[in-house]
Amino acid sequence: MLKQNTWIWTAGRASIAVVGSMMATATAATAHGANIMIKDVRAYEIEAVYDSGDPMAKAQVSVFGSENPQVPVDTGITDEQGRWVWIAKQPGNWTFQVRQAGHGGLAELEVFAQGEGVDLVSPDGATTDDSASSQALAAHQTRGSAASPMPRWIAIGSIVWGAIGTALFFSRRSSASPPLSET
């Protein structure tokens, strides 16, 4: 009986060691949120990068107008540097969606008639105004899929709960089985 309990205790300590090492390495992993920058270069250059700074190469880009926000008016794919150039055919409010492998984000752009300037609108409603259409706009970034600690804690809790459940399962099984007789 002592050997079985020792085995359970050893398995429990090993589970705790595994969970501890996973918690230690989990902080080193980086989440992939997305940053989208829009620059005025006579056309609009969309630049999409992950939070780590790596470009979202070959990501899908969709442009939605304010008249019909469910149907894209233009689509494309970013280049190797995560860039895609778009020319506004008319003034209006435009929403850009960039996605790659489940990661991505949204950015909004308000285009005025020639010479009226450009307003960039972030998801929180803040706007920046630049009335000189020949000047480059300051990079405007929005975060999409921002990293949250909640999924990590759910995963850690699941692992701990599984280790406890496994230890309890084996401890119950050992107490229900008849003692081994020595022959």
| All structural domains of the chain with their residue ranges | 34-144, 148-177
Nearest-angstrom CA–CA distance, 21 and 87: 50
**Alpha-carbon distance values, 170 to 15, 55, 167, 174 (Å):** 14, 49, 5, 6
Q: Of 152, 142, 160, nearest to 31 (Cα)?
A: 152
The predicted pLDDT at position 141 comes to 39
The predicted pLDDT at position 49 comes to 92
The predicted pLDDT at position 10 comes to 59
Can you tell me which residue has the tokens 């600690």? 149
Fold of 34-144: Immunoglobulin-like (2.60.40)
| Per-residue pLDDT tens digits of the chain, which is 183 residues long | 445 555 555 555 656 655 555 555 544 455 567 788 776 656 888 999 998 889 999 999 999 998 888 899 999 999 999 999 988 888 888 999 999 988 889 999 888 776 555 555 555 555 554 443 333 333 333 444 444 677 778 888 899 999 898 888 888 755 555 666 665
**Alpha-carbon distance values, 47 to 52, 57, 64, 80, 179 (Å):** 14, 10, 17, 11, 69
27 has which bridge partners?
A: none
Nearest-angstrom CA–CA distance, 80 and 146: 23
- Per-residue tokens: 171: 């401890």
The predicted pLDDT at position 77 comes to 95
The predicted pLDDT at position 134 comes to 32
Q: Of 64, 27, 23, 1, nearest to 147 (Cα)?
A: 27
